[in-house]
Each structure stands twice: as C-alpha cells, then as structure tokens.
Amino acid sequence: MNAEPHDAPIAPDEPTTTADVPPKRRGWFGRRSGWVKALIMLGVLVVLVSSGVAGGAYLLVNRYENKVDRAALLPSAPAEEAARSKQNWESGALNLLLLGSDSRATEPGGTSPIGERSDTIMLVHIARDRDKATIISIPRDSYVEVPAGGSWKGGKNKINAAFAFGGAALTATTVQKLTGIPLDGAMIANFASIRDLVDAVGGVEVCVPYDVKSTFSDREWKQGCHAMDGAIAEEFMRQRYNVPGGDFGRIRNQQLVVQAVISKVARNNLLYKPLELDTLLGIAADSLTVDQSLDLRDLVFAVRDIRPRNITYATVPYTSAGLKTPAGTAVKLDDQAAAEMFAAVRDDTIDRWLADNPPREPGS
C-alpha cells in the first residue's frame, strides 16, 4: 500500500530530470531542495519575531524585500474572494501556497520557464490566533483533477503536471479545486542544497523514527538521534529507496532536517549574530519568488507570536502509492480523510483534527 510511486512522464515532451544525481556544490544553498530555503526563511522569521525583537524583523524585511523576486503566482481572484483574503490578513486564518521547483534552466534573477516540475507542493496554514502554523505536504504524484491551462485541456493527471503546463497559477488553481481552500499568498523556490546551511549552524541533531540505509554509501541511520554535518544531512535527505514509504519517507526526512535547523538557529541565538543572520536571510531572499500581492511585513506580523515548537508538519492522507494511470504510477489520495483534513484547515481546526488523526510514519 505504501510502495513508492515510480516517476513517470507527466507530459510527452517533459525533459529528463537529474534530480537523483548527486548535485554539484554551488556554494551556500547550491541547487537542491529549494522549498527548504522558504521554510528556513519562514522559520527564521518566526524565531526572530517571537524572541521579542519584532522591530528588528521589520528592519530586516525592509532590507531584503528588494531582493525577493515578484511574480503573479496566483490566478486573478473575484472581488469577493480578494476582499475575504484582505480580511484574513487582518484578523483571520491564513493559507499560503509554497512550491519547490526542480528547474535547472533558470539563473538567479531570471524567470522560471513553463515546463519544469513542481517537486514540492505545500499548504502553510497560519491559525487565526496567530499562535501556531501547520505545513501540509501534497504528494507530487497525487492523481487529481487538473483544470485546463496552457496546453492542457483539463482532466486527471499528477498534480505536479499543473506546474509543467501552466506554472504556479495553474498549480494554485489545482490546489484550490482539490482542497476547497482559498489561498492568501504564494511563494516559490528553486532546488538548492542544504549542506552549507547545516554546516553554517555547526551541524544538527536529527532524530529519526525508523531505520534508513543510504543508497550512495555504506552509511546507515538507525532509529534514534544522529549528529549530522552538511554533507551527511544532504545525503540523508536524498534517500528514497531504502527509506520507509519511498518518496513519503524522503518528505519526512526533509521535514526532520528543517526542524533540526530551525531548532539549532533558535538555540544558537543566531538572532544576535548579525553577520550570520544577514547572510542567511540575504541568500534566502535572493532565492525566492513571492506573489506580487504578498506583503512581507504582513507575513512578519502574522507569525510574530508563533514559536518554532508550534510549527506542525503533515502530509495529505493517501491509500495507495501504486495507482496505475495514463500518466504513470501515481498516488491515490484518501478521499474521505483528505476531505476531512481540508475541511479542518478551512475551519481553522486542523490542530484538533491532527490530534484525533495522528499522521502515520512512512511505511507504517
């Protein structure tokens, strides 16, 4: 039931990906797991403003805002929906779309071409009380209804096909159709390496809930806590064949490393080391494209009372990772459980729903 979904073409002309080839280093944040940068930036903002230095956070946002690329990542919203979103930013729960792309064609400051995959699709839910956040991964191979857009005429496909056919806007439309959740903002990041980031914070301790054996070396991580430098963390995050749940296990491993980095940032008082903080936020800002309507100062205000320990990670429930489809082997979402999860997000009760329906570990 939890067999790993095989990668299959999402469009006849899709270029071959080299995502599983060990990437060459390109300095800090190299070129892998770009969504990690977005989560780290969000986590650093949370740490910063929740440590009683919100004024400093506003100064940092002003400093880095001109480094963040802007684009129309969300489709045009009807007037009523736009007004509701404005109200959400003032006093309601917020839902942001976070995308990670594996494009190898773009250069810093360039635009992302249609045709790249969306390797990671996440919903970031910020509670109405602004005291907690939930980050929900939507499996990239989920077989869903993808509305017409670009060269796609509409119909069932893997959800990451939406990005290939119509970019972030079609992905956002697909996510909204799947979840029934209006989106209040969006961010996208290209793939990048985390190894130098981990080294910059002096390494991390990652607690693994299952055994993982590397396919790139003889290294093995038994259930328990492990000290990792950047190279080891990168190797750990790239595992997908000898990890429970396959691609779901890799998602979980990435979450574990992100949590460890955010925790280390908080424990090391990085906030009071201006040069390190400046480097981290500057590079993260350089790597991100943010929806043209998203005000970063509003985002700082929204997360100022969230403590890092109150960021929860989850994955949309599924029943099979081996669904046979015209698009190749795909993930069959659990329609009932997923609908309940999405309803809980809309009702801002996702924390209670997750408590009643604890996520299973990959492979369980």
Residue 16: partners with Cβ closer than 8 Å, 6 or more residues away: none
Residue 112's pLDDT is what? 41
Per-residue CA distances from 25 to 31, 194, 233, 260 (Å)? 7, 10, 14, 22
Per-residue CA distances from 72 to 82, 184, 208, 293, 348 (Å)? 14, 13, 38, 8, 26
- DSSP assignment letter at 20: T
Residue 196's pLDDT is what? 64
Residue 189's pLDDT is what? 65
Angle at 272 between CA 234 and CA 260, to 5 degrees: 25
Nearest to 117 by CA among 181, 185, 166, 150: 166
H or E element in which residue 338 lies: helix 335-346
Strands 118-126 and 133-138 turn out to be antiparallel
Predicted confidence (pLDDT) per residue in 109-126, tens digit: 334 433 455 567 889 999
Q: State how far Cα 319 lies from the chain centre.
A: 22
Tokens of 22: 């060990």
Residue 5's pLDDT is what? 36
pLDDT tens over the chain, length 364 residues: 333 333 333 443 333 333 333 333 333 223 334 445 555 556 555 554 444 444 555 555 666 677 777 889 999 888 999 999 999 999 999 999 988 754 433 333 334 433 455 567 889 999 999 999 998 989 889 999 999 998 899 999 999 999 989 989 999 999 999 999 999 999 876 545 466 667 777 889 999 999 999 999 999 999 999 999 988 988 898 887 888 887 788 888 888 887 888 778 777 766 566 676 666 666 556 667 889 888 877 887 787 778 777 888 899 999 998 999 999 999 999 999 999 999 999 999 999 999 999 876 665 5
